[in-house]
Amino acid sequence: MTLTSMTTLLADAAARSGGVGAFNVILLEHAEGLVAGAEKAGAPVVLQLSQNCVRYHGALAPIATAALAVARAATVPVVVHLDHAEDPVLVYEAVRLGLGSVMFDASKLPYDENVAATRAVVQHCHARGVAVEAELGEVGGKDGVHAPGVRTDPAEAAAFAAATGVDALAVAVGTSHAMRTRDAVVDHELIAELRAAVPVPLVLHGSSGVPDDELTTAVEAGMTKVNIATHLNAVFTGAVRDRLADDPELVDPRRYVAAGRDALAAEAARLLTVLNATAGPGPGSGPA
């Protein structure tokens, strides 16, 4: 199993109408917990390292090296992926370090500039066997972006994919990053239209705010890669808080961070099951 190709992973999932869980890593324990959850679910997983995570650690290499080591030891397929990189220099560093997939996010630029910048990154990465995800439309940040005017247009998305050569496309269909409540309303009709128009797998960002049934329906409608970060961080942090509250004298980080890691593993396994609730069998499917 171990490290695998993002392109292969997404193609296999799409073929069986399943979803691939893409979960963000901040600490080493995140990578360990997410892989443990994937192994429990018997499903592949994507370990994502965001540009913000790189800023937190001060460099990409330490956390990327750790994530790659955890991935290589896994018993299920794992992809280590750079998430939401707005700087091509960071993308090129990820390629040098051995990450097999990157997301280059130029969605804040005007359409023509987004196309040109993304195409240049795709050419560099494809020459080195690395898959590229891009974004079209505005998924939005902490304040939420749900107005129809910022959602991805299917015809424009098809043209963007053709012009850039991307391997996957993140689209705006009603979700928003960093949501703390799971009540986002996803436009499943738009997902189906995008799926029919766009020749590459679709990616749902900001999925922490999406309830379980909506996640399953989004995958059925045509989403393949589903990104979840804030919700899993809340699970991790909640378990740490509970552990410290249970034992105010506790000072060994291994004992309380482990509680977060274990809770993260359990929730990751559950979410992977949700994303594949109606999928057909495939590589790595079924409980381990």
**How far from chain centre, in Å, is Cα 124?**
22
183 in active site: no
Tokens standing for 231?
């919700």
**Residue 239 carries which DSSP code?**
H
Q: Which of 12, 83, 167, 262 is catalytic?
A: 83
Specify whether the CB–CB gap between 247 and 217 falls below 8 A.
Answer: no
- Which of 123, 121, 111 lies closest to 152, judged by CA? 111
Q: How far apart (Å, rounded) are the C-alpha atoms in residues 191 and 220?
A: 9
Residue 48 near residue 229 (C-beta atoms within 8 A): yes
Q: Are 96 and 128 in contact (CB under 8 A)?
A: no
In the chain, the DSSP E strands lie at 20-24, 45-50, 78-85, 101-104, 131-136, 168-171, 202-204, 223-228
Report CA torsion sign: 246, 251, 256, 258.
negative
Q: Are 195 and 221 in contact (CB under 8 A)?
A: yes
Helix (H) or strand (E) holding 72: helix 61-72
User: Which among 206, 166, 202 is positioned nearest to 186, based on CA atoms?
Assistant: 206
Kindly tell me the burial class for residue 142, based on how many C-beta atoms sit within 10 Å of its own C-beta (0-12, 13-18, 19 or more). exposed
Exposure on the CB side of residue 15, measured as CA atoms within 13 A? 9
> Could you list the active site residues?
83
